[in-house]
Amino acid sequence: MTTIYFATNRKLAPGAEFSDAFHDNLDELRFGTATCEGRELFKRDIADVAASATIEVAPERLSAENAAASRLGSAAVFGRLQAELRDSGKDALIYIHGYNYSFRDSVARACQLQQWLAAGGRDMAVCLFAWPSRGAGVSTGAYRDDRNRAAAAGPALGRAILKAVDFVRGTPRGQACNSRLHLVAHSMGAWALRGAVQSMRTFVGDNIPPLFEEVVLFAADEDDDALSARAKLSPILRGCRRATVYLNRQDLALKASDVAMGNPDRLGKAGPEQGPDLPPKVVTVNASPAIIWDAMGAAAWTRDETGHQYYRNNTIVRDDVVQVLAGTSDAEIKGRAEKPNFWLLG
């Protein structure tokens, strides 16, 4: 059984389910856990995993008159996560999903990612931020709708991160754990992260709290100058030790975003724009040669026609990111070749 923790600003529906609508207050959050039964779930269809997941929403009772009487779902979930980390010695990972996910789909993908990384030797507690993607299929209209939704979800994600900071800072020393916290964003999840970063800046300026050890961006559907621009993603670099950008130059999903949608060069396809404003803590990994396009037979679950899903189904990429999440220095990570401005994988 795999348990993940989640925060979402989706609107709660009857039966501990979440709709594709935003909460009435856009940055309002609900917290909970989800469990998925079975092993090697990353080899199963996402719809099967999603349908069988058990969702538990943490109860909340808010009192404007007596704050001490309030019961916060965030405190309950953070406390449970902290106890797991303290007892197991694991690290924790915040996962921000991409485009075209229902709530249950995002839960299933988080469970698959947790087991996928554990199978590679990095067993971690995964914390999902489930922004209100519609999960309405792939089309120009659905893409634009989800892009707007990801941006609008940014303040809720920023609020969740700052809540985590407050919880960590408020934990008595004797109850603290020594675990590290990482952040992984896939595809349009990087767009939601931009919104979170800019929202946090309204509260803390550029002094983003140094909460994260590693920030990892896979197939980021973001502008290629995002990590150099204060108005985009660069302030997140104040909050981490290292940021690793994985790219695939043959990523057809990002090519569609670039060409069909009229966006600038995409970070996950072109890599970070080089220049004096790009900090040295940004590391680029070109995974293009490692991407599996036509696996068949027993390995058919690795098939990736678009070259966009390698973060969860390519063992070469997984072995690399496992070393990143272990804190291995870039020069010591096995399987890479150093090139000007990037590392070549595969």
**Could you tell me the two tokens for 319?**
């072995």
Q: Rounded to an integer, what distance in angstroms lies between the CA atom of residue 346 and that of residue 344?
A: 7
The pLDDT, as a whole number, for residue 108 is 97
In a domain, 188, yes or no: yes
Q: Strand, coil or helix: what is 162?
A: helix
pLDDT at 299 exceeding the cut of 90: no
What pLDDT digit, counting tens, does each position of 61-76 carry? 765 555 555 678 889 9
Among the ranges given (73-82, 175-184, 225-234, 300-309), the one the predictor scored with the smallest mean pLDDT: 300-309
Q: What is the pLDDT of residue 62?
A: 64
Q: Is residue 27 part of a domain?
A: no
User: Which of 133-137, 214-218, 296-300: highest mean pLDDT?
Assistant: 214-218
CB atoms within 10 A of CB 345: 25
**20 domain-assigned:** no
**Number of domains into which the chain is organized:** 1
Residue 1 belongs to some domain of the structure: no
pLDDT above 70 covers what percent of the chain? 96
Instruction: Answer yes or no: is 195 within a domain.
Output: yes
Residue at 173 is within a domain: yes
Q: Angle of helix 189-204 relative to helix 140-170, nearest 10 degrees?
A: 40
Q: Compute the half-sphere exposure of residue 239: CA atoms within 13 Å on the CB side of its CA.
A: 28
Amino acid at 181: L
Reported confidence tier of residue 97, pLDDT bands at 50, 70, 90 = very high
Residue 341 lies in a domain: yes
Domain assignment present for 35: no
pLDDT, tens digit (0-9, with 9 covering 90-100), for 221-235: 999 999 999 999 999
Report the alpha-carbon distance of residue 267 to residue 59 in Å, rounded: 39
Separation CA 10–CA 322 (nearest Å): 31
The letter for the amino acid at 189 is G
Q: What is the CATH classification number for the domain harbouring 183? A: 3.40.50
| 346 pLDDT above the threshold of 90 | no
**What is the pLDDT, as a whole number, of residue 297?**
74
- Domain with 318, as residue range(s), is 69-102+115-345
